[in-house]
Structure 1
Amino acid sequence: MIDYEDWIFEELKIYKSKYSKTPFFISSWDCDSDLVVYPNKIISQSSEIAKDEFHYKFSEDLEFTKETLKNYYCTSNRDWHLNNFSLGINSTNSIYLALSALIKKGKKRFLLVTPIYYSIIDTLLDFSRDITFFHLRDLDEFRFDSDRIEQIVKQQYIEVIIFSDPVYCAGLEIGTEIYERIVKISNAYKVTVFIDGTLGGLEWRNDADIFFSREKTNIIKESYDFFLINSGPKLFFLNDLKFSVVISLADNIALIEDLSSQISGGLNKIQVNLFRLFYAESARNELYACKSQNISTIRNNYNLLSASLIGTDWQLYPTNSGYFTMLVSKKVLLGEVDPIDVTKKLLYGHNLLPIMGNYFSFFQDNKVSIRINLMKNLRGHLPALTEALNMDI
């Protein structure tokens, strides 16, 4: 059987070569730059490099930089220290390092709440770990059933729980009450909690923090053991100019930074500058303004697309965070179709390149789904998309 993940990008090469045109990539991870409001002042300042500053920069040496981050999160009586933070080159790398640290500590049994970033699954399979899946289902509105999770932890002797916030690609925020419940499970069964919060901090509500929620971060700190990965620049669509942050217990951070020097090497000066500028209090006004305008664009695209689906057999998930949503069939289940067949129909019939929910580990009992990037110029492609949705899948 052909693997969908391997097939889709090879097929794209064939398509572009055959037809000499590029399809509209509706599921892309890149945004349309003309839609994005960037923090240009911060970007400009981050690129200013003195000639005497060309030397190695490792996370463990960046105490002044970590101080900026610590000050951002110290908003309660829960003390944070410099050794709770590690600075990484990007989120994928930090996720790999954090998983590697868990493997080095001897963790074997993992519970993955899906959908989830495919790299997490691939890494754990490469390390031959025991994986149990807890599939969030659209039938249950992606309800995070903490009671059922506790049962699985107890029955399967789970050592690590991994989930993403927001729900990966569906864009549904995990509430603080779930965090509080997971902390109780963590402490009761001595389980590590691992959160991919790469897109956490792009909630659509007006009272959200600039970056990943300080309230949630302070809640998760009370667990037996935890890893939280996030990326400030990712929230502002700086995909080629970014860094990542790992927040964890001191012994975990020490292990990550040791692994980082072996695997990742140092950071560059622009990343370090950007980090300091992003978390500085002086940057708040510019970042808030950019974020507000970008979320407005995301919501407008969501509403535009949602309105275009009226009268069709498709709908959107009730997204409230991030810049991805899922276009979902009302009738057909993922397990009832071949994702390659559906992708070919959209690609060759309508010049649209989708990535199906299968790629993002959506469970087979969920409806057929296609990821939509809400920071793309959807308006110009709505006629083709609407026509495509009339196809028989």
Structure 2
Amino acid sequence: MRKSGALVLQILLVIGFIGFCVAFMLWIQYRWFHPKPLKRVQVPELHKPVSLVLDSSGTGHIYAESENDLIIALGYYAASQRLWEMELMKRAAQGRLSEVFGTATLEFDFYFRNLLLDTLAERLYQNASPASREWCRRYAQGVNRYIIANRERLPVEFRLVQLQPRRWEPRDCFLIQRFVSWLVDTSWKEWSLIRQLHDTLPQQLQKELERIVRPTFLSPLHPGAAPVPKKWWDIDRKFRRWWWGIAYAPRGFAFVYPDTSRNPPPLSMLFLEPLGAPLPFRWLPVHLSGPTIEVAGLTVPGIPGIIVGGNRRIAWGTIHIPSQSTFFQKMPAVESQTESSVPFSMERVQQNIRVGNAVRSRTFFITPRGPTVNLDGGKPDANDTLSVLAWQGWQLSDEIAALRKLFQAQNWEEFQEALTTFQCPSS
């Protein structure tokens, strides 16, 4: 009797222990799926409460009851995670690094002032659709609300250089987009290297090179096409070394689609893999959920959209395709005739850069083809020939509209229609 009683007691203890473990696991799961807010933040720009949940992988899940609130929250969240990168990219694109880092970055500032990205961003913003401008305004509201609420709790990088982040303007979303597009656009390098290689090879090897590369790489893109100025090449290389010496350099992404020649074609599959080109930012993983939006993926800090990701029906990725969208061209320094016998004029632009208590100036000219290259600071006279940068990124387009349409694409036709608004190379 004693043995049987002890056995029953042991069984009851085991059952009780198992029951306790099950109850404990159920409690953990309940707390996991019904967590108490760790922090409540007052964001006056929001019309209704928004929830932000961080999972164990570091992905931010944003739930909002309206599209506008969703984009405001995305801007707030991006600033909370990547404010230093956003400020650094903005300063680089505007040519204002020397205000923080001194003469060490002066040539980088002149390099990007030469691209006139700040002027371009304003033109792009004014040309964008009302819906795209609204997205940029809402995103900027979220970024600025985070800056205002956290002046005393900024990332350590701001304290190290004694810098306060500047107000985020709606047009800065286009500024970051064009800045990233320029850095990943290597067409001018590829064209120049292939041309130089072709011209220095023996005739037999020239023919072999002609066989394996596209014919357009070996033909002038435009009458008057010129080699890349050596100083332009040198400064571009120095900037990349400097940038990725102080910032993490993640890799890009590509997508592979199935061979549609097979009958029947296989199921579509999206495959992402790292590319060789580093990016000037760290991807920010997010999931956005609202009445008309249900999308997840990777976003670029500073841009209100998901570059790599998908919704419930469509998934997308990015890849850089050499498009020969950039080249250099020689033009006279005075008003003259183009090859089509149409007169052109040049707009004079003076750029001033503050370095400590000093101001450094540089003069550029804007031609119908693009800005002139002036990295030496000299002033051309009437007999000089200017090197002009022709970049497709100077064309007016609305990539924010493309991102909005990708969010809501429900089939292949809508997906293709969204892609038609991507006009900038390497977008």
Normalising by structure 2, we get a TM-score of: 0.21
Normalising by structure 1, we get a TM-score of: 0.23
Of structures 1 and 2, the one scoring higher in RCO (CA 8 A, sep 6+) is 1
| Bigger-Rg structure (1/2) | 2
